[in-house]
Structure 1
Amino acid sequence: MIKIIVAGFKGKMGSTATKMVLDTPGFELVGVLDPHADESNLNELSEYTEDIPVFHRKEDVLAETSVDVWIDFTIPEVAYENTRFALENSIRPVVGTTGLDEEDVKELQRLADQKRIGGLIAPNFAIGAILMMQFAAQAAKYFPDVEIIELHHDNKLDAPSGTAIKTAEMIVEERGAHQQGHPDEKESLAGARGADYQGMKIHSVRLPGLVAHQQVQFGSTGEGLTIRHDSYDRSSFMTGVALACTKVMENEQLVYGLENLL
């Protein structure tokens, strides 16, 4: 039985992850964490009947229970501290919070190596999104001119999304830096062409009604190629989260990207 705690359990992704852990054979939810929660037990919320403690301080988790895996869907500043705390206490992190910078990730990986603790930081847990990124990287060998359009709900705090950045990184690994567009191009409105990553443009859309969507648009002489993934419901991420919780128990490294555990 894998003992799991969910940090950020009141958010949309956190609550979906909480229900997934409760419903998955072989998983045991030993607690949830939110410093701002008014509840002391999960069953105080109408959608739960289970007797699960609500922790308000991460230090209390260690005092009251044992944990194998720490699922984190919080915010970047909190996720870094939570992940560091988990690693320092030999708990395996599965982090879906995006917005961690590259140096933070590297520092956490160094700590995981020292502790010989497995874990995962992933910008996206949907299997289809992982395939979309891998297909896009392969296509970039033949279609070096590409732009990324990512679309998310209007409560998402970071832009561009972690998935868009990861996709761009994977494309650059295959094609290298490549300047696109007309060299004399000028924006009549600042930002109209989007963010620039090694010559490719990334555009972020934030609108109510969206969940998580990304389109990778390739162009070449006389033809185009579009690779798109859509998550219509947050349940699409849970197969990947469940897989990660199992796989990190076998690992001794903190990896970035779910594709490294597939």
Structure 2
Amino acid sequence: MTDHVTDEGTPATYSPLRVAVLGAEGRMGRTTCDAVEAAAGLELVARVTRGDDVAQALADSGADVAVDFTRPDVTEENVHAALDAGVHVVVGTTGWTAERQGRVREHLARRAAEGLDLGVIVAPNFGLSAVLAMTFAAKAARYFESVEVIELHHPDKLDAPSGTATHTARAVAAARAAAGVAPSPDATESGFGARGADVDGVRVHAVRLRGLVAHEEILLGNVGEQLVIRQDSFDRVSFMPGVVLAVREVGRRPGLTVGLEHVLDLD
């Protein structure tokens, strides 16, 4: 708890921001708990694990913000439970489709109509270097004839392509469409699926290899030149500055925010 002095010279006391971590038993969850406990002005009030009643845990803890690092099959349900409990949410779990985002927007609108302005931040990646790489790629994409994305992760990751790569590809595709850039040239007629996933017209390739953590390359090419933007996360602690920033900011941003770049004002 931090004391401040008012204009009248009397101390004013402010309570720390109370944080609950969902998926606290996982690798990202454990790292997030450590980061919250170490951050000034934040208090870890609940470690919610698999099998716990999310709504009850949030109510019992009096959390202001819930951080979700669970699984794609339960994360949306967790967000709705938190909104029902009047709790802001920061989400690092991937698997968020446009339909899922739409349902959360509707829930937020209902809560706002009831007089409660809540915020949800969904970030495909909390690494500052990753967010910058995505932003730089979107800015550069309009100037190159070809663009492809390669994401590389550990083999325990459940989704492919990664949320980061999907978010990158969609941002790149939107920037190219707005500039009137033609699709990347590709004469491939067969290849047993080797050309990767098609995300809004951008090819995305997923590598799963023991020893990796989280890595991304965006390759952009013109005749006679190539630009490669690469980002590497070697340890999960690299995501924590972004997580802590989102926890501190989510209450100031009513509605749904998708992408940490908006919190950093990079857009």
TM-score of the superposition, structure 2-length normalised? 0.87
Q: Does structure 2 conserve the Cα–Cα contact (< 8 Å) formed by 1:179 and 1:198?
A: no
Written as runs of structure 1 = structure 2, the 5 A alignment for 1:203-214 is: 203-214=205-216
Q: Does structure 2 conserve the Cα–Cα contact (< 8 Å) formed by 1:216 and 1:227?
A: yes
Tell me what 1:95 maps to: 91
Tell me what 1:186 maps to: 189
TM-score of the superposition, structure 1-length normalised? 0.88
Query: Which range moved further: 197-206 or 208-217?
Result: 197-206
- The count of aligned residue pairs is 241
For 2:182 and 2:66, the matched residues in 1 are separated by: 39
Q: What does the per-residue CA deviation read over 1:184-237, in whole Å, with 9 as the maximum and x for residues that have no partner?
A: x2234x211111123321000011111110000011110000001100100010
Q: What does the per-residue CA deviation read over 1:108-159, in whole Å, with 9 as the maximum and x for residues that have no partner?
A: 1221233221120010001111110110011111014100000011100000
Q: Does structure 1 conserve the Cα–Cα contact (< 8 Å) formed by 2:59 and 2:85?
A: no
- Structure 2 segments unaligned to the other structure (5+ residues): 1-15, 112-116
Q: Does structure 1 conserve the Cα–Cα contact (< 8 Å) formed by 2:20 and 2:58?
A: no
Partner letter of residue 81 of structure 1?
Answer: E
Structure 1 position 105, deviation (Å): 1.1
- Structure 1 segments unaligned to the other structure (5+ residues): 37-55
Q: Does structure 1 conserve the Cα–Cα contact (< 8 Å) formed by 2:217 and 2:230?
A: yes
Tell me what 1:4 maps to: 19
Written as runs of structure 1 = structure 2, the 5 A alignment for 1:148-227 is: 148-176=149-177, 178-183=182-187, 185-188=188-191, 190-227=192-229
Report the RMSD for the aligned CA atoms in angstroms. Answer: 1.4
Of 63, 67, 75, 1:67 maps to 63
Partner letter of residue 180 of structure 1?
Answer: S
Q: Does structure 2 conserve the Cα–Cα contact (< 8 Å) formed by 1:109 and 1:255?
A: no
Tell me what 2:5 maps to: none
1:18 and 2:18 matched: no
Query: Which range moved further: 171-180 or 11-20?
Result: 171-180
SS at match of 1:172: helix
Percent of pairs with identical residues:
43
1:32 and 2:35 matched: no
Structure 1 position 34, deviation (Å): 1.1
Q: Does structure 2 conserve the Cα–Cα contact (< 8 Å) formed by 1:178 and 1:199?
A: no
For 1:209 and 1:6, the matched residues in 2 are separated by: 26
For 2:55 and 2:131, the matched residues in 1 are separated by: 34
Q: Does structure 1 conserve the Cα–Cα contact (< 8 Å) formed by 2:18 and 2:44?
A: yes
